[in-house]
Structure 1
Amino acid sequence: MVILNTFTPSTDPFGQQWLSALVALLPIVSMLVTLGVLRWKAHVAGGFSWAVAALVAILGFGMPVGQALSTSVHGFIYGLFPIVWILLAAIWMYEVTVASGRFEDLRRTFFLISDDPRVVGLIITFCFGGLLEALAGYGAPVAITAAMLVAVGFSPLRSAVTALLANTVPVAFGAVGLPVLMAARTGGFDDVLAISPITGRITAMLCLVVPFLLLWVMDGAKGLKECWPIGLALGLSFGATKWIVSSTSLYNLTEMFAAVVSVCVAIGMLRIWHPRGGDMSRDRISVPLDAEVEKDFIPQAHDDAAAGALTGGRIMMALVPYLMVIVVFGIAAIPAVKDVLKATDIEFAWPLLAGLQEIDGSASAHTTFTFGWASTPGILLALVAIATGFIYRMSFAETMGVLWTNMKKMRFAALTIGCVVALAYVMGDSGQTLALGVAIAGAGAIYAALAPVLGWIGTYVTGSDTSANILFSGLQSSVGQQIGPGSHLGVEGMRALLVGSNAAGGVVGKMISPQSLAIAAAAIGLGGSESIILRKVFGWSIVLLILMCILTGLMSTPVLSWLI
């Protein structure tokens, strides 16, 4: 006879909310210290931090041992599928273009837009990366754009940092609007348009900052001085489009419209304006950010004259994989098709978790495991990779050989991601993550300025803005009901602001998530460099978070409440 353990998490097991939150903070501190300060390998830091989270869950939050271990295994498996599978498929698709020799034509195609590598870097990471985030998400934009920057001539670490920093503003509406949709649903809003305009406007204002930070990362003060007009044009066009589309019924296509419009604006502007110093910047962008870690990096030499004329046919063939991504994901996003793919999901009860409950006493979502073999982006990217190999006249064995090579390269990244998702599951299911949220929510009148911090923490822990919204949107809505009466916005306005800012705050937590760090390190071929990358991006994440907190705080007052 099996004894069923029923466990309902508590947000305050120690009877003092500040103490419960402090204990719940231990796994996060462990990850930051081991990865960012002690410079442990990411998979080791992830495993250690998971162990800390499991001990806190069992000893501090009273979670049964069997459930703590079972939900950890559940999280680890989910980390491998679909997350690692999506990442692997994205890199596979890209590497097929490299193995076929067609990526060289794609590189030259980008340089037809501009011969300045910094401008090309902006278009690849900010615009093209935004398009990939709109369609796929799950780390695929970071994986693909970081690898592309290396091929363009950027040093590996510079490529990783640039790709991570760019993969911020599109995240809230990534994967065809899923994060903001879940924020609205979990927050108790019947209409997603109560939330999406707020999230869209907060992230739109960040668009006026991120392109300039990208130029600084790519080429320092010279890059900013010489290329700021194109940075401003991209930021304004991307942000303005987000502002408009996020307020319409097409909110789920916000990033797609923003990416396409900003590229068109860039092409138009570059017909009448050209940045200075492009040739000299080529040497600077290839300078390693860390000479020891990047000691084996040798910038690729490109002989465009020997490669022959770049004809319209060659350009079209170079763009084929990415056009297929747009078409395939566009079709998959059609509600009828999406429902058909979703119907193929295989769902089964997860062992030992039948008695696991949410904070409100309902059954935890983790009591079942959903194997979405056809409804997640991984299978679609894999089909594109296989089709790309066929179109490029590679044998099936050669195409599969590329997959096997990248599977071996990514083994430690897969282990890292699995450990991090296991940590996220055990922290969430034991009540640790909510304990942190409740503690922050007790800030009172100034809470509106702190609301994005919950999204930031949630995305750091889970690696997903969608998951952070599912985790905290209900709490944000409840706090809005408490502090809304008597506020300038009223109850409903405050609820919408807090839930929307949670979705927005998650976008700047994405770049420092251990999952994202592992993806970036794998993409640039420097597995184990996650700690270096973290130290390079952490400061930028804090800067953007502070800006977002200021914006949200002012939006709760007469100063900027007109934005809502």
Structure 2
Amino acid sequence: MWIQTIDPLGSLPLSALVAALPILVFLLCMVVLKLTGIVSAVIALAVEVVVALAVFGMPLGSIAGSAGYGLLTAIWPIAYIIVMAVWLYRISVASGRFDIIRASISAVSPDQRIQVLLISFAFGAFLEGAAGFGVPIAICAALLVQLGFQPVRAAMISLVANAAAGAYGAIGVPVIVGAQVTGMDVLDLSRALVIVLQPLTLLIPFLLVMILDGVRGLRETWPATLVVTLVFSGVQAGVLWFLGPELADLGAGLAALVAIFLLSRVWRPKRIFREGGAEIPEVERHSAREVIVAWSPFYILTGTILLWSIPAVKALFAEGALAATTISVPIQGLTNAITTASGALVETTWSLAILGATGTAILLAVLITVATTPQISIGGALTELRATIGELGKAIILIALILMLANIANYSGGSTAMGSALAAAGPVFPLIAPIIGWIGVFLTGSVVNNNTLFAPLQVATAEGIGAAPAQLVGANTAGGTTAKVISPQSIAIAAGAVGLSGRESEIMRASILYSLGMLAVICVWTLVLTLL
């Protein structure tokens, strides 16, 4: 039994700095040296192994177990979800339905500024609420490329837009988990997030337009941008305040989609913006029935995801008649082999949920789509699956490497060392609290995992400095959503979706300032709230 320590060097700031070396090395390789994501991750993983072994004293068996757990998690459920989602998208393209979807969006407006609000912001939030786990980033980035956006720009915009919805993805799981691990009421945390995160959410549509066309773009599209942000934020805040996080993204995304459509009936920008001055494509006209049928794969996807999210269905897979399809696998060197610095025994196991996985819900949507789409055969669908796996291979390898690094950092005590060092800031801790969430999501790629790791630390610190626990857990969640913009997992998913696997550094360089800028806004706003 190995006992974790978070201060092996006898100086918490120094221990935390050493623990942060793999992250710093990864960023250096990606942003400065412009290495590929996989090469950068391999180098950072090697540094993490050395830090865990030589500094934190983690046994080789536990390092191997932590890395193995990360690898298995990357395969199932993460790669399973991503492959199924992109497969569904490719089937939609191969069947010709995606051409109709693209035409229906162009018919709303050929202006790419409006298309970004419609797709990356509104539709992306809807998909985030239904599925999460990178699904909206993959689908929206690919859709923007189909509409004529440059691949790097499409990926970066979809990543930035996701910051408005990432806190409530997959039916509000990040908030629900944050409440569970801290023992607070879900509604209290939801309301705290309205106060902490909603001001930034209000600004994101304006930021997206400015990314594309600067201040002139805002002047020319302010009616649409204002309507979208007020409708989206109003519905999201209302749902969070009165109902909780489960429908925050679904309701807000759907309301924003309807708002853009209705506004387009009475208003259009005087100047049509296209990247690089490209010509306005001729808009194909389709009947309402054709459009509804073309969008059906995504209706089906939403329906299956919602079905899998119903508590009774979850219970069926967890402890009901289908419980045998969920297999819990202990990890040698990790499960019951590590005691954390707080004295808790690590009981983590890898869960192979064959039927209960979100990927299976997406697979069901794929099967229904193929069965109801005469334009594509079973053989054609399998061809698209092979192409999907080949296209996403590098992205999945990068995700696996990062999860291996993240798990070694978490179970060696390195992640806790970084969080604890920041927590020692005392009265100015609220300024730093979102940074802890940013680190958590950058490491794990998941707001859920971030809250699992650091929400209890935020509560303990809040009690020590006299701040509101829900507010700091909200700051942890909000900071985490800004990290999703440059999380290696998110970058890998976006790169794979737009055909830039191996060129992740380009997307990272295009996105990093937006991530840090939004993080700075959350940090300052959290501090202001604690002083009020």
Common topology (TM > 0.5)? yes
Q: Aligned with 1:207: secondary structure?
A: helix
1:322 aligns with 2:298: yes
Does residue 210 of structure 1 match 2:204?
Answer: yes
1:285: how far off?
Answer: 7.3
Structure 2 residue corresponding to 1:235, chosen from 209, 222, 229: 229
Q: Does 1:90 align with 2:93?
A: no
**Equivalent residue for 2:485, pick from 511, 520, 526:** 511
**1:333 & 1:235 partners in 2: Cα distance?**
28
Structure 2 counterpart of 1:389: 370
**Counterpart-to-counterpart distance in 1, 2:283 and 2:23:** 48
Match of 2:454 among 469, 472, 484: 472
Paired residues of 2:4 and 2:341 also in contact (CA < 8 A): yes
Residue matched to 1:501: 475
1:368-410 deviation digits (Å, cap 9, x = unpaired): 1111222222111122123222222211111011010111111
Q: CA deviation at 1:201?
A: 3.0
Confirm or deny: 8 A CA contact 1:50 1:420 kept in the other structure: yes
The answer to whether 1:251 aligns with 2:227 is no
Deviation at 1:357, TM superposition (A): 2.5
Residue identity matched to 2:384: V
Q: d(CA) in 1 for partners of 2:425 and 2:365?
A: 49
Q: Distance in 1 between matches of 2:283 and 2:233?
A: 35
Structure 1 position 538 matched with structure 2 position 512: yes
Alignment check: 8 A CA contact 2:5 2:341 kept: yes
Question: Aligned runs of 1:139-538 on 2, under 5 Å?
Answer: 139-189=134-184, 191-278=185-272, 281-284=273-276, 304=283, 309-342=285-318, 343=323, 344-353=325-334, 354-366=336-348, 368-393=349-374, 394-484=376-466, 494-538=468-512
Instruction: State how far apart, in whole Å, the 2-side matches of 1:500 and 1:221 are.
Output: 31
Instruction: Spell out, residue by residue over 1:442-491, the C-alpha distance to the aligned partner (whole angstroms, 9 max, x if none).
Output: 1111111211111111001110000010000111011011101xxxx5xx
Residue among 37, 46, 49 paired with 1:42:
37
Q: Which residue of 2 aligns with 1:291?
A: none
1-structure distance, mates of 2:46, 2:192 = 38
CA offset digits 1:479-518 (Å, max 9, x no partner): 011101xxxx5xxxx2111111111111001111000110
Higher mean alpha-carbon deviation, 356-365 vs 42-51, is at 356-365
Amino acid in structure 1 at the alignment position of 2:246: N
TM-score, length basis structure 2 = 0.96
Q: How much has 1:236 moved relative to structure 2? A: 1.6
Deviations 1:227-246 (A, max 9, x none): 23211221121112222111
Partner of 1:80: 75
Could you say if the C-alpha distance between residues 303 and 388 of structure 1 is closer, same or farther in structure 2, counting changes exceeding 3 Å? farther
CA distance in 1, matches of 2:300, 2:288: 18
- Retained in 1: the 8 A contact 2:63–2:333? no
Q: In the TM superposition, what are the counterparts of 1:18-37 in structure 2 within 5 Å?
A: 18-37=13-32
Distance in 2 of aligned mates of 1:285 and 1:38 = 32
Conserved? CA contact 1:208–1:232, under 8 Å: no
Q: Are the structure 2 counterparts of residues 221 and 211 from structure 1 closer, same or farther at C-alpha, using a change threshold of 3 Å?
A: same
Q: Does structure 2 retain, via aligned residues, the 8 Å contact 1:161–1:217?
A: no
Relative to structure 2, which stretch is displaced further, 240-249 or 447-456?
240-249
After superposition, give the CA deviation of every residue in 1:315-374 in whole Å (9 maximum; x if it has no partner).
1111110110121112222110121133332102112223122332222243x1111222
Helix, strand or coil at the partner of 1:208: helix
The AA in structure 1 aligned to 2:460 is S
Shift of residue 117, structure 1, vs aligned partner = 2.4
Structure 1: how far apart are the matches of 2:346 and 2:357?
A: 22
Task: State how far apart, in whole Å, the 2-side matches of 1:96 and 1:358 are.
Answer: 46
AA in 2 matched with 1:527: S
CA distance in 2, matches of 1:10, 1:211: 44
Q: How much has 1:273 moved relative to structure 2?
A: 2.1
Match of 2:164, SS state, is coil
In 2, Cα distance between the equivalents of 1:200 and 1:358? 33
State the one-letter code of the partner of 1:130: A
Structure 1 counterpart of 2:115, from 109, 116, 120:
120
Whether the aligned pair in 1 keeps the contact of 2:52 and 2:412 (CA below 8 Å) is yes
Q: What is the rounded CA distance, in whole Å, between the counterparts of 1:548 and 1:82 in structure 2?
A: 31
Distance, in Å, in 2 between the alignment partners of 1:404 and 1:371 is 23
Provide, for residues 186-228 of structure 1, a one-character-per-residue CA deviation record: whole Å limited to 9, x for no partner. 2232x11121111133222112211111112233344333223
- Listed one character per residue, the Cα deviations across residues 501-542 of structure 1 (whole Å, up to 9, x for unaligned) are 111111001111000110010000011111111111100011
Alpha carbons 1:203, 1:239 under 8 Å: kept:
no
Q: Deviations over 1:238-278 (max 9, x none)?
A: 11222211122342111111111222222232233211211
* SS of alignment partner, residue 53 of structure 1: helix
**1:550 aligned to 521, 524, 532, which one?**
524
The answer (yes or no) to whether the contact 1:238–1:262 under 8 Å persists in 2 is yes
Q: Is the 8 A contact 2:5 2:340 kept in 1?
A: no
Q: Deviations over 1:83-107 (max 9, x none)?
A: 1111111111001011111101001
CA 1:285 to 1:512, structure 2 compared with 1: closer, same or farther past 3 Å? Answer: farther
Counterparts of 1:268 and 1:412, CA distance in 2: 41
Match of 1:49, SS?
helix
Structure 2 gap segments, 5+ residues each: none
Specify the SS of the correspondent of 2:139.
helix
Matches within 5 A, 1:127-138: 127-138=122-133
Classify 1:376/1:285 alpha carbon distance in 2 versus 1 (closer, same or farther; 3 Å).
Answer: farther
SS in 2 for 1:422: helix
Runs (4 or more) in structure 1 with deviation over 6 Å come to: none
Letter in 2 for 1:519: I
Residue identity matched to 2:480? G
Cα distance in 2 for partners of 1:357, 1:145 equals 42
Q: Name which of structure 1's ranges 228-237 and 320-329 shifts more when overlaid on structure 2.
A: 228-237
Distance in structure 2 (CA, Å) of the matches to 1:363 and 1:328? 36
Q: How many residues align?
A: 525
Letter in 2 for 1:475: L
TM-score normalised per structure 1? 0.90
